[in-house]
Homo-oligomer: A and B are copies of this chain.
Amino acid sequence: MSDAEKTRLNILTVAADEIHQHGFKATSLSVILERCAISKGALYYHFTSKLELGYAVFEEIYVPMFLETWQPALAHDDPIEGLCEFFTAMASEMNCSEVVCGCPLNNLCEEMANVDEGFRLRILAMQEKLNALIVASLARIQSQLRADIELSQVAYFIVATFHGSTTLSKSARNKELFQKVIIELCRYIRALKK
């Protein structure tokens, strides 16, 4: 990796952390420059604007990180059990800062989808990609599933419930409500089988 590539990756990593902590609008380029110990010129060499930096953080840091989190569950021999184990582990392992800060992607969606078309389209594309991955994974065991279910609808439902449960846990600032919803979500997912 060249020095320029290392600098670029460092900027992206620091910016991802700042955006997660403070939101996109409140993120300060000066703080990023300071934390990376680089000049304004070096930053603008890689990203022509804060918005371009924000899109790159979204595409190169948040989306891969997010899809990687779902990957083991979806690659499981039995994706039904894979998803239940994934959600259950998250409910028991989630630390305080995750409860308070919420999911970086969900936060960015709440903050920016309404304000900037570039973010909105990237968020939508990511949701469609996650939906396609869940559908493909359930389709592998379609013969074991009930005949009356529509896979894409089920996949959006699972993701919506999961997002909604993080909102509940944010306002409760403890995991109790999150865990209740996750237990019910697992019951729902297991009932997809014949």
Residues on A lying within 8 angstroms of B by beta carbon are 100-102, 106-107, 109-111, 113-114, 120, 123-124, 127, 150, 152-154, 156-157, 159-165, 167-168, 170-173, 177, 180-181, 183-185, 188, 191
Contacts and interface: CB of A to CB of B under 8 A. Distances in A.
A21 to B, nearest CB: 11
A167 B106 contact: yes
Given A157-B185, A177-B156, A171 B123 contact: yes
A142 to B, nearest CB: 17
Q: Within the oligomer, what is the number of copies of this chain?
A: 2
Nearest to A178: B160
A171 B113 contact: yes
Contacts of A152: 180
A163 to B, nearest CB: 4
Given A109-B167, A150-B184, 13 more contacts: A109-B170, A110-B167, A110-B170, A156-B177, A157-B180, A159-B168, A160-B167, A160-B168, A160-B181, A161-B161, A161-B164, A162-B164, A188-B188
A16 to B, nearest CB: 18
A183 B156 CA distance: 11
Contacts of A183: 153
Contacts of A159: 164, 168
19 contacts: A102-B114, A109-B171, A110-B111, A110-B167, A113-B173, A123-B171, A124-B171, A127-B168, A127-B172, A150-B184, A152-B180, A153-B181, A153-B184, A157-B188, A159-B168, A160-B164, A160-B181, A161-B161, A164-B165
